[in-house]
Amino acid sequence: MRCPFCGAEKESLQVIDSRTCDNGRSIRRRRKCVHCGKLFTTYERVEQTSRLMVIKKDGRRVPWDKDKILAGLERACFKRPVPEEEIQRVADEVEEEVRATYDREVPSTSVGQLVIERLRRLDQVAYVRFASVYRQFKTLDDLVAEAKAVIDARHYDDLPGQGKLFVEPKRSAASTATTNGHGGNGVSTEAAASAPAPKPARKPRKKPEHAAEPADE
């Protein structure tokens, strides 16, 4: 093994972190090159005895490649608040279920369905992005219909950190008070309507002007 940046030999590489991943099927090692100081990651996996093939929609058969799943997830989650660990977790779960369900061949539609089910629970915007490619929406109406279907699925909205498709505008204090049946002073409109009208204020009475006293002669 050589450094991918400077080509230094294995003796110049140090392992600074090592942990299991892929649900215990792989070992992830973080390495540092002493020669150039760059960091990179390597993975140690058990070689699969049986080669899993993916059947494309046009009938072609291609080898299973989890990196393609990761690439599709990263495109769908681009600039979305989705941690990299969650993207890796979805890819691991999809691969685990595929290998547990299928022996040698798996349809690409089944793989896409497994991905889309998990994306829908992860982030709604990323789900619609992925679905627009996976389901090949022909018109804007198809995209809008899919977005409405996600919004109507109320049981997904309770998940913490769920990305929202649309954000409702904030109501002003005046409109909120009117909607709740209260005026701006906190008095309900019904109570204000039933209250008696205030009496008009009385005008002050004018004092009578006294006649001028005659001057002494």
Q: How much is the pLDDT for 217?
A: 42
The first and second tokens of residue 128, run together, are 């619609």
Query: Domain residues for 33?
Result: 1-47
Looking at the 3D structure of the chain, how many domains does it have? Answer: 2
Same structural domain for residues 113 and 70? Answer: yes
Beta-carbon count within 10 A of 135 CB: 13
Which residues have CB under 8 Å from 90's CB, separation 6+? Answer: 69, 73, 115, 118, 119, 122
**What pTM did the predictor assign?**
0.50
Same structural domain for residues 141 and 78? Answer: yes
* Residue that is last in its domain, among 140, 157, 174: 157
Same structural domain for residues 105 and 91? Answer: yes
Same structural domain for residues 152 and 58? Answer: yes
User: 125: which DSSP letter?
Assistant: H
* Residue that is last in its domain, among 134, 157, 180: 157
Same structural domain for residues 43 and 86? Answer: no
Same structural domain for residues 42 and 67? Answer: no
| Per-residue model confidence as pLDDT tens for the chain (217 residues) | 889 899 899 889 999 999 887 767 788 899 999 999 999 999 887 766 568 899 998 999 999 998 999 999 999 999 889 898 899 889 989 988 998 899 889 999 899 889 988 888 888 888 888 887 777 666 667 667 766 766 666 444 444 444 444 444 455 444 444 445 554 444 444 444 455 555 555 655 655 555 445 444 4
